[in-house]
A and B are shown apart, each in its own frame.
Chain A
Amino acid sequence: MNSQRAAEISTDQGFFVLPTLVVAWSSDESMESLLRAVRHRLAPLAEIGALKCLGPLKDPIPTEHLAEECQTLLSLDLWHRLVSQGYQPSLPGPNSLASLRVIFIIDRSNVSHNLTLDIIEKSKKLLARRARLMPMLIWLGDKPKSNPPGLASYWPRIRLERMASGGMEVPRRDMLAAVEHLLVALIGSNMIQYLDEIVNKDETKWIIIGASALLLDNRTEQFVRELVLNEILNSFVASLDVDLDRIERAMAERARKLRESLLQEASAILRESGWDVEISGLSIRKCVLRNLNLLKSLFGAYYGGIENQRSSLLSWNSMYRWFLDLISALADPFSPDPSIEEKIYQHYKELSEKLERISSKILKEYQDLRILLGAFLDRGLLTRIPAGEHPHRWFGDPPLPSGLRATIAALFAFQKHLAEGGDVEDAREPARGSVQPAPLSGDAYLRAAGDVDAQIVRESLLRYVHFARQLASPWGVLLYLLPAWPLLTFLIQAFARWELIPAFLVAGLILFLIGVVDLAYHWLWKARRLLHESQSRAHRALADRVLSLTARVIQDYRDWMLSRLQEDELALEDVYIAFLRRHVAAEQTSRDLNEARSQEINLCTYSILYKEELQSWAKEAVEALRQYPDWKREFAPFENALTARIITDVWPLAKQPLPGQALLKELEAVCDRVIRDCARPVWHPATAVEREVKDLQGGKRWEWLWQRAQPMGSSESPGLEFTIIITREEFLMGSTGKNSPYWQPEWRFVSSILDREEICVRGIIEG
Chain B
Amino acid sequence: MAWIYLILILFVFYFGSFIPDNDFEFTIAEFRLHIPLTGSFRLLAYGFIAWQLLWALTRWIEQKTRIDIFYLLDQKISFLQLRRRWLYASRPVFSTWLAVRLAQIGLMLSLIKMFGVPFLEYLRGVAVLELIKNVIPMLVEAILSRFGSAEWIAILMSWLSGPLTEWLSGPVMDSLQDAEKILLEFKLHYMIFFSSFMIVYVNKLYQKERTERYNLDIKRMQEKRRKQKFFDFQ
Contacts and interface: CB of A to CB of B under 8 A. Distances in A.
A490 B7 contact: no
B221 to A, nearest CB: 14
Given A472-B86, A476-B85, A522 B92 contact: yes
DSSP majority for the B interface? helix
Contacts of A518: 92, 94-95
Contact of A490 (B84, B86, B87, B195): B195
B211 interface: no
Given A477-B92, A483-B10, A521-B92, A490 B85 contact: no
A514 interface: yes
Given A469-B84, A472-B89, A477-B92, A483 B7 contact: yes
A484 B99 contact: yes
Interface in A469-521: 469-473, 475-477, 479-484, 486-488, 490-491, 493-494, 497, 511, 514-515, 518-519, 521
A479 B86 CA distance: 8
A475 B3 CA distance: 14
Contact of B109 (A475, A488, A493, A494): A494
Contacts of B207: none
A180 B8 CA distance: 138
Contacts of B14: 486
A486 B187 CA distance: 16
A493 to B, nearest CB: 6
A562 to B, nearest CB: 57
Contact of B89 (A471, A483, A515): A471
Nearest to A521: B92
Given A491-B105, A494-B109, A519 B92 contact: yes
B192 A494 contact: yes
Given A472-B89, A479-B7, A494-B109, A486 B191 contact: yes
Contacts of A487: 99, 102-103, 106, 192, 195-196, 199
DSSP majority for the A interface? helix
A504 to B, nearest CB: 9
A493 B192 CA distance: 10
B83 to A, nearest CB: 10
B85 A483 contact: no
B188 interface: yes
Given A476-B86, A479-B86, A486 B105 contact: no
A475 B86 contact: yes
A223 to B, nearest CB: 98
Contacts of A482: 7, 10-11, 99
Contacts of A470: 88-91
B222 interface: no
A482 B12 CA distance: 13
A483 B96 contact: no
A481 B81 CA distance: 17
B46 to A, nearest CB: 16
Contact of B3 (A479, A491, A494): A479
A381 B87 CA distance: 82
A626 to B, nearest CB: 85
A473 B106 contact: no
B93 to A, nearest CB: 8
Nearest to B79: A475
Nearest to A476: B86
B82 interface: yes
Nearest to B86: A476
Say which size band chain B's interface belongs to. 35 or more
Contacts of A480: 3, 86, 95-96, 98-99
Interface string B94-125: 11101100110110010000000000000000
A110 B81 CA distance: 128
B97 to A, nearest CB: 8
Interface centre among B95, B96, B105, B196 (most CB of A within 10 A): B95
A751 to B, nearest CB: 108
Contacts of B103: 483-484, 487
B54 to A, nearest CB: 15
B95 A483 contact: no
A493 B99 contact: no
Contact of A479 (B4, B109, B187, B189): B4
B186 interface: yes
Contacts of A477: 92, 95-96
A329 to B, nearest CB: 16
A477 B98 CA distance: 10
B184 interface: no
B95 A514 contact: yes
Nearest to A475: B80
Contacts of A493: 187, 189
Contact of B106 (A472, A475, A490): A490
B6 interface: yes
Nearest to B199: A483
Contacts of B186: 494
A487 B82 CA distance: 24
B90 A514 contact: no
Interface string B65-90: 00000000000000011101111111
Contacts of B96: 472, 477, 480
Contacts of A475: 80-82, 85-86
Nearest to B4: A479
Given A484-B99, A522-B91, A473 B195 contact: no
Contacts of B89: 469-473, 476
Contacts of A469: 84, 88-89
Interface string A248-268: 000000000000000000000
Given A479-B3, A486-B10, A514 B98 contact: yes
A482 B5 CA distance: 12
B109 A486 contact: no
A472 B94 CA distance: 12
A481 B85 contact: no
A490 B191 contact: yes
Interface string A451-473: 00000000000000000011111
A483 B98 CA distance: 9
A488 B96 CA distance: 15
B85 A473 contact: yes
A411 B3 CA distance: 83
Contacts of B10: 482-483, 486
A518 B99 CA distance: 14
A89 B219 CA distance: 112
A497 B185 CA distance: 11
Contacts of A486: 10-11, 14, 191, 195
Interface of B: 3-4, 6-7, 10-11, 14, 80-82, 84-92, 94-96, 98-99, 102-103, 105-106, 109, 186-189, 191-192, 195-196, 199
Q: Which 6 pairs show the lowest CB-CB distances between chains A and B?
A: A476-B86, A473-B85, A472-B89, A484-B99, A518-B92, A490-B189
23 contacts: A470-B88, A471-B91, A471-B92, A473-B89, A475-B80, A475-B86, A479-B7, A479-B86, A480-B3, A480-B96, A481-B98, A481-B99, A482-B10, A483-B195, A484-B98, A484-B199, A486-B10, A486-B11, A490-B191, A494-B189, A514-B98, A515-B95, A521-B92
Interface of A: 469-473, 475-477, 479-484, 486-488, 490-491, 493-494, 497, 511, 514-515, 518-519, 521-522
Given A482-B7, A490-B189, A497-B187, 18 more contacts: A470-B91, A471-B92, A472-B89, A472-B91, A473-B80, A473-B86, A476-B82, A476-B89, A477-B95, A483-B195, A487-B103, A487-B106, A490-B106, A493-B187, A514-B94, A514-B98, A518-B94, A521-B92
